[in-house]
Structure 1
Amino acid sequence: MAIQLPFATLSHWQQVAFASAVLERMLPNYQMFSESSQFGDYGVLKNQLNLVWQWLDKQNPIKINVEAQLTKLEEQTPDPQAFDSFGVYPALDVCMAMMSLLQLIQSNGKDKCHEDINCVSRLSDNSVSYYVELLLIDEGETEVQPRHISAHPLAVWERETQEELFNFLKFAAENKRSCQLAKTMVLAEGLSNLGIEIT
């Protein structure tokens, strides 16, 4: 039940804004993992996302050295083999989504397959699906079917949030106010995409 949105209908700016807003919902998962495992610096990823929001502000545009940011990001990316907690997987998804977001900026709208934007959407959705599967197993479900996962409130919320965000940005003006509205929309519940409270 992967989310399929027609990203080709969005401008490059709208795609970057979409990916940034999706990442806002994922970022707390990295923070929680980082604090519990003593690995990585959440501040680096938060700063990178803030840079992208600044890049989206056409009134005061900034340049981003994507290669330098990708190098910094690599140092914060956990190796799942090195940790025995579930939290490493959503944390890894955050890092991979951030990498795709930075590459999306670098592509400057030339990625006609829209792989980077699709990747961000998919990684957030996958984080939720995997977490929901574990929740269902925890609740005693022996054979978790895809339909059980897609019917779970967290999975429904993920789909609805991405669709609402997409529909908003499709007609949004490419300015700072649209960025603020998109961010407010995805953080309205005060929860990450996994339902973790944002501190």
Structure 2
Amino acid sequence: MAIYLPFVKLSQWQQIAFSAALLERMLPNYKMFSEAVDFGDAKILRNQLDIIWQWLANRNTVKINIDAQLLKLEAEIPDPEAFDSFGVFPALDACMALTALWQLMQSKPLKKSIVSEVDLDDIKSISRLSHNSVSYYVELLLLEEAADVTATNATTPQPITDELVITDEQMNEHPLMQWEKDSQNELFDFLKFAAEDKRSCQLAKQMSLSEGLSNLGIEIS
């Protein structure tokens, strides 16, 4: 079910723009979690992503202290063991993806012809984190649906057990799962040939926000 994209075909700038666009779809998940449990400050993540877009549009003039940004972000990362709500996981994924994006920006740019799989660890991690947020959420939705059907069809009340099985086919056919894959593929196909300029940033951001929803289907406010 994983998404495999040939990131070696993207320049570092294109990889950063791809990652920033994915994070536009992940940040609303953090904001909703933060507001629900009164933890963290979603504005800090929003501000950091805005700074990254500014750098992408004007990288020759925008200077960033990335170590300081990473330190600031660290305080906003939730501990999944401290919360009993599902929302902590996509919130954590957003923080981990933003951390990986800062690390990607710290790495030394390489020519496409000499990029190795190790050099692609950060962008592959960001792609995977976005996909995993959706995958886990979809699995929970399907388990709830299956449990409801089982309870409805049972002649006597049945406890929900771990015996419910969700197949790969069910996962792949879910609209949110398909949308995540389509979104990543469309962004990749666009950025692969995009000029490294402000207009490409605007178009990539518009693509990620076109539905007005996070990757979990949460309305972006």
Pick the TM interval, shorter chain: over 0.9
For residue 190 of structure 2, the aligned residue among 160, 168, 187 is 168
Equivalent residue number for residue 119 of structure 1: 125
Equivalent residue number for residue 96 of structure 1: 96
Which letter maps to 1:83? F
CA distance 1:51–1:59, change in 2 (3 Å): closer
Within the alignment, does 1:128 sit opposite 2:128 as a pair? no
SS, match of residue 17 in structure 2:
helix
Which letter maps to 2:27? L
Q: How many aligned positions are there?
A: 199
Task: Give distance in 2, aligned partners of 1:8 and 1:149.
Answer: 28
Structure 1 residue 37: Cα displacement: 0.5
Within the alignment, does 1:22 sit opposite 2:22 as a pair? yes
Equivalent residue number for residue 181 of structure 2: 159
Which letter maps to 2:142? L
Structure 1 residue 54: Cα displacement: 0.7
Which letter maps to 2:220? I
TM-score normalised by L of structure 2 = 0.87
Task: Give distance in 2, aligned partners of 1:24 and 1:109.
Answer: 24
Q: Percent identity?
A: 62
SS, match of residue 64 in structure 1:
coil
State whether residues 14 and 169 of structure 1, in contact with CA within 8 Å, keep that contact through their aligned partners in structure 2.
yes
Equivalent residue number for residue 64 of structure 1: 64
- The higher radius of gyration belongs to 2
C-alpha distance after superposition, 1:67-105 (max 9, x if no partner): 111111110000000000000000000000000000000
SS, match of residue 140 in structure 1:
helix
Please give the root-mean-square deviation of Cα atoms over the aligned residues, in Å. 1.2
Task: Give distance in 1, aligned partners of 2:59 and 2:27.
Answer: 26
Structure 1 residue 120: Cα displacement: 0.5
For residue 138 of structure 1, the aligned residue among 144, 149, 165 is 144
Structure 1 residue 60: Cα displacement: 6.0
SS, match of residue 191 in structure 1:
coil
Which letter maps to 1:137? L
C-alpha distance after superposition, 1:40-69 (max 9, x if no partner): 000000000001001101376311111111
